[in-house]
Amino acid sequence: MTTETIQITLPDGATREVPKGTTPAQIAEQISPRLARVALVARADDELVDLSKPLEKNAKIAILTPKDADALQVLRHSAAHLLAAAVMELYPNVKLGIGPPIETGFFYEFLRAEPFTQEELEKIEAKMRELAAKDIPNERKWLPKPEALQLYRSTNQEFKCELVDEKADEPMVSFYTTGKFIDFCRGPHIPSTGRIKAFKLMNVSGAYWKGKEGNPQLQRIYGACFMEQKDLDDYLHRLEEAKKRDHRKLGKELELFTVSDLVGSGLPLWLPKGATVRRLLEEYILQKEREAGYQHVYTPDLAKVDLYIRSGHWEHYHEDMFPPIDLKTEELVLRPMNCPHHILIYESGKRSYRDLPVRIAELGTMYRYERSGVLSGLSRVRCMTLNDAHIFCTPEQIKEEFAGVMKLVEQAYKDLGIKEYTYRLSLRSKGPSDKYVANDEMWDMAEQMLREAMDSLGLPYTEAPGEAAFYGPKLDIQLADVMGHQETYSTIQIDFHLPHQFDLSYIGADGQKHRPVMIHRGVISTMERMTSYLIELYAGAFPTWLAPVQAAVLPLSDKTIDYAKKVAQDLSKAGVRVHLDDRNEKLQAKIRDAQLQKIPYMLVIGGKEAEAGTVSVRHRSKGDLGPRPVDQFVADLKAEVESHIIA
């Protein structure tokens, strides 16, 4: 009897004939014993598979080692299983949820009446290390679906039952075992636990089963996990640094904003200093927009539900809106977006092609029912004010308008000191979805126009299916925080849908009615999100033009207090944001506090300064700059503010 063979193609293009049923592990061994030792998982064509999976047909095979990013995610997934195995040994009665790999490690969900304490996390981590050291194999098993359900029913694993019921789409169900531990899982996994070394359990947080409010709350144990200890150490170090910059922590320490249970989650209150930063951002962007030909308007924060039925928000964006206020005679709703109001402003007058583009702008406040689990400080809130505008133009004008918005974004980022950002083309998801207006032709056209606009500027971008607005594709500008977590800030969106819904028109050169196109755009995002970013970017030490207090006047003693008061008054009159520290404290203490508040300039005032009519200038990072006449200090500071110097 001859054995059947299959042909495998290696990444370098070399091909081999091997008996059907050969495993990637055997192939690795044939290539080199060293490769076999470091191998973690394999890729067969485009699918990740276990090293122990018998290959049944011709395929392109790659053996993945610690160098491959995909191998790291598989290792993290196996670490999640290791966590569950350890927890099941220590607490056999917990119920299991899901346990996937995530960006920096893994988590696993457990239902248990008592919360896991820090000491318990340490115990669990020690158990994980014990199981890792035993180098227990991760083995794949198949069970018929009824048996799989029976297995979980008999052990009271109701969440797992639910998963098997919905997810197992074939008669045989895939499981993995790690010693005594068994888990419903598609895999793949690394061959055994011994390779999981660089990990650390980080924290526990509550999560509703399947993320749905109202479902039972499970405890998610999070772990960090990397290939090498050095990568884990780097990550933990970055995390420490990030914690110091966390805008929620600094927001409190620097008295920028506060939150209150009585007001509610996602509804921060801006304290005077934070409000100053926000006001400066607002004034800055309004000025830039006026220069760029925008017209500013004011519109109400709520409207009849009918408006959003007409716009399509009700159909496609309903879940992100707060429920309507029923007044019996009418139903009002807090607006989730400003577009419909601006559309009605466009519609309020007759428009001719000569008026176009019409650029209607507003610092528009809007309300979104973000789920409580995703809310965070100022960066994701439920009430937010967007630097919003809607440009109504002809299709031919799109490219130029797009470029104009991009120029505004670049200028604003330069003045704010934002250097690192990427462009993301946010498209609708493939396949039918009620998240998006159904009109293929419209989507194709809008997408093509966005691509052309980007290409004509020569800007590189990545693509993100599923991230479009319901009415059209977006060009989003993504900023990453200290931990590398990305969010959308600026956005430019092309929309054919809303002009159609509201039957918008302008009179063309031919005397006929034509339909304008809408560009939705936000240059500096919401005041909330941008402020959160800037707090973290500068670790609270805002550049002078944005600093809530620009100069602290520090009298050396009571003797110079009158002169110090006069200096503070003069500065304030000249438009400098100043704080007079007239406490009965030593100069060292006053300097320390001004440093802690990250005030750019400290003006020390002793007898010599009072006599000479000067101030001794100290900068928060450059140190002592020597004495200067007050007028000179004001002139220098104004120059620094006007040119938006980042120091």
Tell me which residues touch Zn ion (CB under 5 A).
339, 520
Query: Could you tell which of ligand TSB, Zn ion, none binds residue 522, using a CB distance below 5 to 8 A set by kind?
Result: ligand TSB
Could you tell me the smallest distance in angstroms from the CB atom of residue 474 to ligand TSB?
6
Could you tell me the smallest distance in angstroms from the CB atom of residue 142 to ligand TSB?
44
Q: Measured in whole angstroms, how far is the alpha carbon of residue 290 from the centre of its chain?
A: 30
Q: Toward Zn ion, which CB reaches closer, 101 or 472?
A: 472
Cα–Cα separations (whole angstroms), residue 289 to 294, 296, 386: 5, 9, 14
Residue 124 and residue 83 in contact, taking contact as beta carbons nearer than 8 Å: yes
Query: Could you tell which of ligand TSB, Zn ion, none binds residue 39, using a CB distance below 5 to 8 A set by kind?
Result: none
The closest of 58, 473, 485, 2 to 235, measured between CA atoms, is: 485
Q: Toward Zn ion, which CB reaches closer, 297 or 483?
A: 297
Q: Toward Zn ion, which CB reaches closer, 303 or 483?
A: 303
Site string for ligand TSB, 315-344 (x = CB under 6 A): ----------------------x-x-----
- How far, in Å, CA of 579 to CA of 554, rounded? 9
Could you tell me the smallest distance in angstroms from the CB atom of residue 471 to Zn ion?
8
Q: Toward ligand TSB, which CB reaches closer, 91 or 421?
A: 421
Could you tell me the smallest distance in angstroms from the CB atom of residue 472 to ligand TSB?
10
Our CA angle for 498, 504, 506, nearest 5°, is 140
The closest of 324, 494, 283, 307 to 394, measured between CA atoms, is: 494
Site string for ligand TSB, 343-382 (x = CB under 6 A): -------------------------x-x---------xx-
Residue of 163, 307, 360, 384 interacting with ligand TSB (CB under 6 A) = 384
Could you tell me the smallest distance in angstroms from the CB atom of residue 499 to ligand TSB?
14
Concatenating the DSSP letter of every residue in 78-109 gives HHHHHHHHHHHHH-TTPEE----EETTEEEEE
Residue 203 and residue 213 in contact, taking contact as beta carbons nearer than 8 Å: no
Positions in 184-243 near ligand TSB (CB under 6 A): none
Stretch that binds ligand TSB, among 11-19, 192-200, 383-391, 555-563 (CB under 6 A): 383-391
Cα atoms in the 13 Å half-sphere on the side-chain side of 570? 17
Could you tell me the smallest distance in angstroms from the CB atom of residue 644 to ligand TSB?
22
Could you tell me the smallest distance in angstroms from the CB atom of residue 311 to Zn ion?
10
Query: Could you tell which of Zn ion, ligand TSB, none binds residue 416, using a CB distance below 5 to 8 A set by kind?
Result: none
The alpha carbon torsion through 230, 234, 237, 238 (nearest 10 deg) reads -170
Residue of 388, 415, 447, 609 interacting with ligand TSB (CB under 6 A) = 388
DSSP, res 376: B
Q: Toward ligand TSB, which CB reaches closer, 22 or 491?
A: 491
Number of residues that bind ligand TSB (CB under 6 A): 21
Q: Toward ligand TSB, which CB reaches closer, 96 or 469?
A: 469
Rounded to 10 deg, the angle between the 229-245 and 527-537 helix axes is 120
Length of the chain: 647
Q: Measured in whole angstroms, how far is the alpha carbon of residue 537 from the centre of its chain?
A: 14
List of E strands, 430-564: 462-465, 474-480, 486-495, 506-507, 513-514, 517-526, 551-555
Site string for ligand TSB, 456-475 (x = CB under 6 A): -------------x------
List of E strands, 91-164: 95-96, 101-102, 105-111, 138-144
Could you tell me the smallest distance in angstroms from the CB atom of residue 380 to ligand TSB?
4
Could you tell me the smallest distance in angstroms from the CB atom of residue 461 to ligand TSB?
15
Site string for ligand TSB, 478-507 (x = CB under 6 A): ----------xx-x----------------
Judged on CB neighbours under 10 Å (0-12, 13-18, 19+), 272 is exposed
**Which residues, at least 6 apart from 520, have a Cβ–Cβ distance to it below 8 Å?**
339, 388, 389, 390, 469, 491, 492, 493, 495
Cα–Cα separations (whole angstroms), residue 25 to 54, 134, 204, 346, 559: 9, 21, 36, 66, 83
Residues that bind ligand TSB (CB under 6 A): 337, 339, 368, 370, 380-381, 384, 386, 388, 390, 469, 488-489, 491, 520-522, 525-526, 528-529
